[in-house]
Amino acid sequence: MRIIRFLEENGLSRLAAITDENLLYELPFENILELRQEAQQRKVSMVEIIQQAIQDTLPKKEGLEQLKLLVPIEAQEVWAAGVTYLRSREERNYEATGGKHVEPTIYDKVYEAKRPEIFFKSTKERTRGTGESLCLRTDSSWQVPEPELALVLDENGQIFGFTIGNDLSCRDIEGENPLYLPQAKIWKNSCSIGPAIRLAETVEDFYSFQITCRIYRNQEKVFEETASTRDLRRTYEELCSYLVKDNIVFNGTVLLTGTSIVPPENYTLQDGDLIEIEIPGIGTLVNPVKKQAVKLVENNLV
């Protein structure tokens, strides 16, 4: 069972459920947190609440393609884990040293350490949904998508959903100096999540997600790679426990679990490229990328 949000003709947002038979039903809740709260109050599963809510209703006639999808959750905060796959460790070493590293680097150490790398990634104002544009930084010439499985958490770090996340990143900025990480990771529209949230209670094996990323330039596919969450070096519980430790965590926080898909070293995103990230069982997150317009007055260029 998956949950989406979409924009109604009257301009209001609406929650809907997609069943395993791909039928789409509107739900009488504004967001997934309301649905979860109802399930908790009545001490039943979210699926049971949905089944009760839709039992006497008909599925929507429109398919997903005809709806204007919104972010499936307006997460107050998005956090991310890094160097959770061997591939990420190798690529971080490459961007920092051009392959001339002498081990152990900070990336080798964090990969092996007990404490994972967890960093702040985005706020709801910076996070886009499927179909919306992501922005490129104007001061970077090496930008890539980072396709990641995303956990949807409650305030205790318990997983109640899975979605797809794109941790858009500047490899040159992080490679120049790891202290620049916030600038390599956070700017306007540098994160997307969606298109749907798969309810965790309907997932049999939390580590069996396949992630495929495709990039199109001028309608032509220029990159495709697939990875599996089986290759994660850490458990979700480990990552969540460090996120919530002595912290304030909002209900509906999203935690990206790291990337294992990296385009070739000579590839950088360009204005007009289209990124597709697909996870069977969740959906396909699609985002065009746009170069940001330089604000001449603000930057004292005029």
Residue 83 CB, shortest distance to ligand DO4, in Å, is 5
282 binds, among ligand DO4, Mg ion, none (CB under 5 to 8 A by kind): none
Q: Is 166 in the site for Mg ion (CB under 5 A)?
A: no
110 with 287: CB under 8 angstroms? no
User: Nearest to residue 149, comparing CAs of 75, 72, 227, 223?
Assistant: 227
Length of the chain: 302
Q: Are strands 13-18 and 24-26 parallel, antiparallel or unpaired?
A: antiparallel
Which range in 17-25, 71-79, 83-91, 227-235 contacts ligand DO4 by CB under 6 A? 83-91
With CB under 5 to 8 Å by kind, the binding choice for 276 among Mg ion, ligand DO4, none is none
Max CA-CA distance within the chain? Answer: 65
Q: How far is the CB of 93 from ligand DO4 (least distance, A)?
A: 10
**Contacts with ligand DO4: how many residues (CB under 6 A)?**
12
| Residue 185: CB minimum distance to ligand DO4, A | 7
Q: Do the Cβ atoms of 186 and 124 come closer than 8 Å? A: no
**47 burial class (0-12, 13-18, 19+ CB within 10 angstroms)?**
middle
x/- mask, ligand DO4, residues 250-269, rule CB under 6 A, reads --------xx----------
Residues 89-128 binding ligand DO4 (CB under 6 A) are 92, 117
Contact assessment for residue 162 and residue 153, using Cβ atoms and an 8 Å cutoff: no
Q: Token pair of 276, please?
A: 């597709």
CB atoms closer than 10 angstroms to residue 300: 7
Comparison of 154 and 167: residue with beta carbon closer to Mg ion:
167
The C-alpha atoms of residue 78 and residue 295 are separated, in whole angstroms, by 27
Q: Pick from 122, 130, 143, 259 the residue near Mg ion by CB under 5 A.
A: 259
Fill in the per-residue mask, 132 to 151: x = in contact with ligand DO4 (CB under 6 A), - = not in contact. Answer: --------------x-----
What string of DSSP letters covers 237-255? HHHHHHHHTTS---TTEEE
Closest approach of ligand DO4 to the CB of residue 81, in Å: 7
Among 74, 91, 146, 276, binds Mg ion (CB under 5 A): 146
Identify which range of 39-47, 97-105, 141-149, 224-232 contacts Mg ion by CB under 5 A.
141-149
User: Could you tell me which residues come within 8 angstroms of residue 165 by beta carbon, excluding any fewer than 6 positions away?
Assistant: 78, 80, 147, 148, 149, 150, 191, 192, 193, 254, 256, 285
Q: Which of 74, 77, 95, 167 binds ligand DO4 (CB under 6 A)?
A: 167
Q: Among 15, 64, 83, 254, which residue sits at the site for ligand DO4 (rule: CB under 6 A)?
A: 83
Closer to ligand DO4 by Cβ: residue 2 or 185: 185
Taken in order 257, 261, 263, 269, the sign of the CA dihedral is negative
Q: Smallest distance from the beta carbon of 39 to ligand DO4, in angstroms? A: 32
Residue 91 carries which side chain, given as an amino acid letter? E
Q: Which residues pair with 147 in a beta bridge?
A: 166
Least Å distance, CB 168 to ligand DO4, is: 10
Number of residues that bind Mg ion (CB under 5 A): 3
In the bound state, the residue with its beta carbon closest to Mg ion is: 167
Residues that bind ligand DO4 (CB under 6 A): 80, 82-84, 88, 92, 117, 146, 167, 174, 258-259
Footprint on this chain of Mg ion (rule: CB under 5 A): 146, 167, 259
